[in-house]
Each structure stands twice: as C-alpha cells, then as structure tokens.
Amino acid sequence: MSEVAKETTDTSSSPMDTYKNTTPPPSTPSTPPPVSSMKPPSLDQQSTSTTTTAPFIRMAPLHVPLERRLQTLATLVYGIEPSLVIGLFIFLWTLPFLWPLLIAYTIWMWKDQAPERGGRRLDWVRRLKFWDYFAAYFPVNIIKEADLDPSKHYLFGYHPHGILAYGAVITFATEGNGFSAQFPGIDTSLMTLHSNFKMPFHRDYLLSLGICSVSRRSCKYVLTQGPPGRSIAIVVGGATESLQAYPGVVDLTLSKRFGFVKIAVETGACLVPVLSFGENDIYDQVKSEQGTWVWGLQKKMQAILGFTMPLFHGRGIFNYDIGLMPHRKPMNVVFGTPIEPPSNVSDDMKDQVVQELHAQYMNGVQALWDKYKDDFAPNRIRELAFV
C-alpha cells in the first residue's frame, strides 16, 4: 500500500508501509497470552469435524453456530464489495433519469481532494457491528509493547502485507479489534494507493473508514495539519511483498524502503513498528519464481496498474480447501515501542539520520519477531528475513 515507503531504489507500490529528545511516556507492557491459553482451533482447522466427500476437499459441517455464520457472511461481503459497487454503478447508467446525477457525481469524484486531505472519517461506520464479526472470523488481536502518548503523532509501519492486508484494514480502518480502546486519543488513517479513490462508490466507503491516499503530500498533510494524536499507518512492503506471502514464511520488503522514515523525520512523527503474526497464513499462494512467465506477467501488471495480484486461493463458504475466502487462522498484531526522530534535522544531516533511524526501525521489527515467534509462529518454516 505504500508509495511513500520507497525511494528510487524500488519503484513498486501496492493496492488497497535511537534518537529520543524526550523521555517516552510510561508504558504498560502487555503480556502475550501463552500458547496454552489461546483459543482452541477453529472449525476449519479441525479435520475431525469435517465430512469428506472427495479425496482433497473437506466439507464444513452443516450445523454451525449463528455467530460463525455471521462472521463468514461479513468476510464474504467485505471481499465482494468492490465488485458489487462497480456493478451497481454500471447498472445505474441504464436508467436515463439518473444521468444528470451520475455525471455530476463523476465530475465531483475526479475533482474531490478528500483522499489527499485527511479523508472523511465517520466513526459510526468504523464502529459498525459488521466489523466485529469480520475481525472475529480469524480472529485479529492486538498486543502492545507500550502505551502511546496522545499528544504526539505516529507513523505505524505494518508488516507483512500478506495477500490482501486484512489485518491492517481491521486494525487501522475499523474498531473491530478495539484499536481506540488500546490506544486512546490516537486517530489513525490507513494509507492506500490513490487509484483506489477512482472507483465510484467504493471510494466513499474507503473515505468513511478514514482511509487516505498514500502519496507523500497526503501523508505529510495528515501528520502536520491534524490535531495531536493524528497518525497514519502504511503497509510498507506493498505489492512486491504480497508476491512473497507464503504460509510459514515472513520475508519483509524493507531493506531498501526509506521513504516512510524520511516522512517521519520531516514531520517529527514517531515510528512504530507493527508486526502481524498470521497475515501470511490466511491464504495459500501459487509459487512464482523470478524469471517464470507467471512472475513476468505479475510484474508487468504491477508496472502498468501500480499493483499486482498474486495467484492465491483459500477456502470456500462451505468447504475448507477450495475458494477465495481466507482461512480462519488467528492474526496477532504486535505494536512495538515508538522510535522518536530527532528534531530540527538539517538538510545536510537528513540522509544520515534517515539511514540510522531505518536501521533502528529494522532492529525493532526483528526484536518483535524474536520475542513473539514461539508464541504466535510455532509452525514457521524459516525465520524472519529482510529483503
């Protein structure tokens, strides 16, 4: 999701990223639940509860609690929403008496500057019961290393991107997992590609969730023009990282991404590393090696459209093995300790400061992995890697 997270060393972007002049606010570290205290495996993780009708397809049981049905419905609606609104927009053009309104809306849509000016956040939309069901489907949990001072601005770097960045949307664009309760006074906008705001009706839904364009101008506007506590979240790895989203693997496209650190230095926003355990596990992806025709097609799509689409699959509504629904696997979103940039950095020193802060930030991400990997990634294939 991040075009600001990268410099000239990397031109990819995504769809839908220790200098301390003051003593950080006292923190109340939260202790992660031990593995033994975590919720029991979900139904689609329990092969004993399935009825097999084909060698490789496990069917879901017929009798499922209503709560779980509603969670599945919410996840399904979220996934098909873009197609629904595009279809609706096309259908409305078949009604001639609506043409004046549709023409006016289209003109306004292209001229509207809200995506670059902090969005049009509606808290009641972010707090809909719908998002509680969506978050509970996996579920998505928040674990924090420290409290955040609401008088400061923050730039959250979310890792990894995964296939569709579900954890980032639930955590930063809704109240499905209680972000505001965990970090009172912190008003955060999730940043995404500006092209998403060219999609009729869908753009208004994104704006109501507080989602904004990830352009440099937009990021700096939110961090400098907003009140204390106004913050942004960037999925730093972007489209490139989505192509490496395999279960049991966390390869982060971060080594050459400096743009988001530069924004933090220029605006004085504190950097907060955020590592989501489980984001890469909710989908299976067809492996496309560099140099293959599949990889070449994906990179060409990325160059033309600004984003790419991995060849992925998950589960179905009524089975556990075939479909585009994500698997019911928990995501534990861990927030690290804020890293405060130095103030009044001269132009001559900016590049050096950015390099040093970037190294400190990477160390922060690595520390989160080392601390929580045995609790939240016990079945990992290999260790965290920076690309």
Indicate if the pLDDT at residue 161 is higher than 90. yes
With cut-offs at 50, 70 and 90, classify the pLDDT of residue 36. Answer: very low
In a domain, 121, yes or no: yes
Is the pLDDT at 29 greater than 50? The verdict is no
Instruction: In whole angstroms, give the CA distance from residue 265 to residue 11.
Output: 21
User: What does the chain come to in residues?
Assistant: 387
**0.85 exceeded by pTM:** no
- DSSP calls for 242-275: HTT--TT--EE--TT--HHHHHHHHHTPEEEEEE
User: Does the residue 300 lie in any domain?
Assistant: yes
Residue 125 lies in a domain: yes
Residue 138 lies in a domain: yes
pLDDT at 6 over 70: no
Confidence of residue 17 (pLDDT cuts 50, 70, 90): very low
User: pLDDT over 70 for what percent of the chain?
Assistant: 82
Please give the residue range of the domain that contains residue 114.
44-376
**240 in any annotated domain:** yes
pLDDT value of position 21: 40
> What's 154-167 look like in SS3?
EEEEEECCCCCCHH
Q: pLDDT tens-digit profile of 291-316?
A: 777 767 767 776 666 666 777 889 99
Q: Is the pLDDT of residue 33 over 60?
A: no
pLDDT in tens, 231-273: 999 999 987 888 889 999 999 999 999 999 999 999 999 999 9
Report yes or no on 2 lying in a domain.
no
Number of domains present in the structure of the chain: 1
Strand 284-285 to 312-313 pairing: antiparallel
Other Cβ atoms within 10 Å of 60 Cβ, number = 19
| 204 has pLDDT over 60 | yes
Contact 318, 54 (CB under 8 A): no
Q: What is the pLDDT of residue 47?
A: 39
Six token digits for residue 238: 């972007």
What are the residues facing 285 on neighbouring strands? 312
| Domain-located, residue 37 | no
Q: Tens of pLDDT along 54-76?
A: 457 888 888 899 999 999 999 99
Structure confidence at residue 287 as a pLDDT band (50, 70, 90): confident
Residue 343 has pLDDT above 50, yes or no: yes
- More confident position, 6 or 198: 198
Q: What is the pLDDT of residue 244?
A: 87
| Secondary structure (DSSP) of 119-130 | ----HHHHT-HH
Q: What is the mean pLDDT of residues 78-93?
A: 96
Which pLDDT value is given to residue 304?
Answer: 66
Mean pLDDT, the chain, whole residue set: 86
